[in-house]
C-alpha cells in the first residue's frame, strides 16, 4: 500500500513539473484543428450517442452486453424478491460502486464535449466496468447461473479474438487501431531484408517516408531491434514528422537527421492520401528526381523504394560496414541507377554509406 502511495506521489510530481506540456497536449488533442483528423464537431447529445456506441463496441460487443444486462436484471430481481438470500455489503463497497458509476457517466460527458472521437481514451473505464460487472455477478447465489455467465464470457472472448485475427473483414465497425492481420510472406521477407541492408551503421538515422500498416517507422524500428540481436548494430528509424503537411519541413527534417537511407513506396504503390500521408508522394518524387539522391537496387514485389544520398560509397568489413569518402573507393565497385535528375538547391553535402551491389539481393534466411 505504501509503495502504491509513493508511486502515485511520484506520478503526480511528474505531471506537476510538466503541466505546461500536458496541458498543451490536452488542448491540441481535444479542441485544436489537429483534433479534426481524429473526430468531428457536433452537439454534446450527438457525441454522447457516438461515445456510448464506442463503449459498446470496445467492451461489450457482441455478447457481453447481454451478459451484463442479464446479470444486472437478475441481481435487481434477487434484491426485491421476498425471501431471497442477499449478500451484505459494507458502506465502503457501496461507495466504490457509486464512484465507478459516476466515473463512467462523467467521462462519457467529458469526451462528448471534445472534437476527438477515439476509443483509446476509454481504456481507463475498463477497471470500473469490471467492478460493476463483478458486483452484479456477486448478487447471484446460483452456481449454475454463474457457470452460464462464465460460458458466455468465454464465448465473447473466443468470438472477439477470432474476428480480430482472421484475415477477412469479419467486424462491421472495425476500430482503426485494430489492424487486419497481414499474412503476406513477401512483405515480411522484404521488410527483414530491408532492415538488413539499411541498419548497418550504429547510431545513424533512416527515414521512412510513408505510413501504411506494414511499412512505417515503428515497424522498421521493431525489425531493427530484432536485427540487432544478430549483428550488434542498431540504426534508428523515424518518419517525416507526425502528420507532416509541409513539404519544405519534411525535406528539412531529412537534412537535419543526415539520413542514411530514405525508405518509401514507389509511386504506383503509394497509399491513398490521408492525413498522415499528405506529403509522402511529393517527397518521394522530389528525392527520386533530385541530383542529391540515387536509387538503391532493391527487388520488391510490394513497391519498396530505397534512396541514398548521391556520392556515398559502401564497404563491408567482416559482416559489418564502415563509411569511407568517395575518393577512397574504387569507382567500379559501386553500381547505381542513372535517372534524370534536377538539382535540389540549398542543401548541405552529405556523407553516407551504401553496400556493394553483389550484396543487395541477398535474401534473408
356, 333 contact by CB (below 8 A): yes
**Most confident stretch, 70-74, 131-135, 318-322, 361-365:** 131-135
Q: What is the pLDDT of residue 171?
A: 65
Q: What is the pLDDT of residue 343?
A: 38
201 SS3 class: coil
The residue with greater pLDDT, 365 or 191, is 191
Task: Read off the pLDDT of each residue in 210-219 and give the average, rounded to a whole number.
Answer: 94
Q: What's the chain's average pLDDT?
A: 79
Task: Read off the pLDDT of each residue in 340-352 and give the average, rounded to a whole number.
Answer: 36
> pLDDT tens across 261-312, in order?
999 999 999 998 888 999 999 999 999 999 999 999 999 999 999 999 987 6
Q: Give 111's contacts (C-beta < 8 A, 6+ positions apart).
A: 47, 51, 117, 121, 122
> pLDDT tens across 106-143, in order?
999 999 999 999 888 888 899 998 898 888 777 776 77
Q: What is the pLDDT of residue 270?
A: 95
The DSSP symbol for 58 reads: I
Task: Read off the pLDDT of each residue in 150-172 and give the average, rounded to a whole number.
Answer: 79
Q: What is the pLDDT of residue 70?
A: 80
227, 196 contact by CB (below 8 A): yes
Task: Read off the pLDDT of each residue in 246-273 and give the average, rounded to a whole number.
Answer: 94
The residue with greater pLDDT, 332 or 218, is 218
Q: Is pLDDT of 63 > 90?
A: no
341, 289 contact by CB (below 8 A): yes
Per DSSP bridges, beta strands 262-265 and 205-208 are parallel
The full length of the chain comes to 365
Q: What is the pLDDT of residue 169?
A: 62
Q: What is the pLDDT of residue 82?
A: 66
Which range, of 62-66, 170-174, 313-317, averages the lowest pLDDT?
313-317
Q: What is the pLDDT of residue 36?
A: 86
Measured CA distances, 216 to 13, 263, 273, 280, 365 (Å): 34, 9, 15, 12, 23
Residue 360 exposure: Cα atoms within 13 Å on the Cβ side:
18
Sheet with 304-309: strands ordered across: 236-238, 205-208, 262-265, 304-309, 293-296
The residue with greater pLDDT, 338 or 272, is 272
d(CA 159, CA 283): 42
Task: Read off the pLDDT of each residue in 325-346 and give the average, rounded to a whole number.
Answer: 35
Q: What is the pLDDT of residue 161?
A: 83
Q: Is pLDDT of 172 > 70?
A: no
216, 328 contact by CB (below 8 A): no
Task: Read off the pLDDT of each residue in 150-168 and give the average, rounded to a whole number.
Answer: 82
d(CA 130, CA 271): 40
With pLDDT > 70 as the criterion, what percentage of the chain qualifies? Answer: 79
335, 296 contact by CB (below 8 A): no
The residue with greater pLDDT, 299 or 86, is 299
Which range, of 132-141, 188-197, 198-207, averages the lowest pLDDT?
132-141
Q: Is pLDDT of 190 > 90?
A: yes
Amino acid at each position: 500500500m505504501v509503495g502504491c502511495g509513493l508511486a502515485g506521489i511520484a506520478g503526480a510530481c511528474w505531471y506537476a513539473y510538466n503541466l505546461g506540456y500536458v496541458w498543451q497536449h490536452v488542448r491540441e488533442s481535444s479542441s485544436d484543428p489537429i483534433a479534426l483528423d481524429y473526430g468531428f464537431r457536433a452537439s454534446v447529445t450527438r457525441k454522447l450517442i457516438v461515445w456510448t456506441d464506442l463503449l459498446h463496441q470496445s467492451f461489450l460487443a457482441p455478447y457481453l452486453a447481454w451478459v451484463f444486462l442479464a446479470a444486472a436484471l437478475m441481481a435487481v430481481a434477487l434484491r426485491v424478491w421476498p425471501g431471497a438470500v442477499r449478500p451484505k455489503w459494507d458502506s465502503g463497497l457501496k461507495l466504490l460502486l457509486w464512484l465507478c458509476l459516476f466515473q463512467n457517466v462523467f467521462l462519457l460527458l467529458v469526451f462528448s464535449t471534445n472534437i476527438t472521437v477515439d476509443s483509446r481514451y476509454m481504456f481507463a473505464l475498463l477497471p470500473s466496468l469490471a467492478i460493476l460487472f463483478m458486483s452484479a455477478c456477486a448478487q447471484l447465489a446460483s452456481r449454475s447461473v454463474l457457470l452460464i455467465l462464465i460460458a458466455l464470457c468465454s464465448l465473447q472472448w473466443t468470438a472477439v479474438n477470432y474476428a480480430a485475427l482472421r484475415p477477412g473483414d469479419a467486424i462491421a465497425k472495425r476500430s482503426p487501431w485494430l489492424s487486419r492481420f497481414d499474412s503476406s510472406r513477401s512483405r515480411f521477407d522484404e521488410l527483414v531484408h530491408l532492415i538488413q541492408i539499411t541498419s548497418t551503421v550504429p547510431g545513424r538515422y533512416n527515414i521512412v517516408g510513408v505510413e501504411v500498416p506494414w511499412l512505417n517507422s515503428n515497424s522498421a524500428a521493431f525489425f531493427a531491434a530484432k536485427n540487432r540481436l544478430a549483428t550488434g548494430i542498431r540504426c534508428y528509424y523515424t518518419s517525416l514528422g507526425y502528420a507532416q503537411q509541409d513539404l519544405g519541413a519534411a525535406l528539412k527534417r531529412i537534412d537535419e537527421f543526415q539520413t542514411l537511407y530514405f525508405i518509401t513506396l514507389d509511386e504506383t504503390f503509394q497509399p491513398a492520401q490521408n492525413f498522415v500521408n499528405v506529403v509522402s508522394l511529393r517527397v518521394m518524387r522530389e528525392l527520386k528526381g533530385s541530383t542529391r539522391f540515387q536509387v538503391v537496387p532493391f527487388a520488391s514485389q510490394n513497391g519498396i523504394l530505397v534512396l541514398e544520398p548521391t556520392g556515398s560509397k559502401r564497404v563491408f568489413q567482416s559482416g559489418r560496414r564502415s563509411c569511407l569518402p568517395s575518393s577512397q573507393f574504387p569507382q567500379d565497385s559501386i553500381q547505381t541507377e542513372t535517372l534524370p535528375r534536377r538539382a535540389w538547391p540549398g542543401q548541405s553535402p552529405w556523407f553516407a554509406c551504401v553496400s556493394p551491389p553483389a550484396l543487395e539481393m541477398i535474401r534473408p534466411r
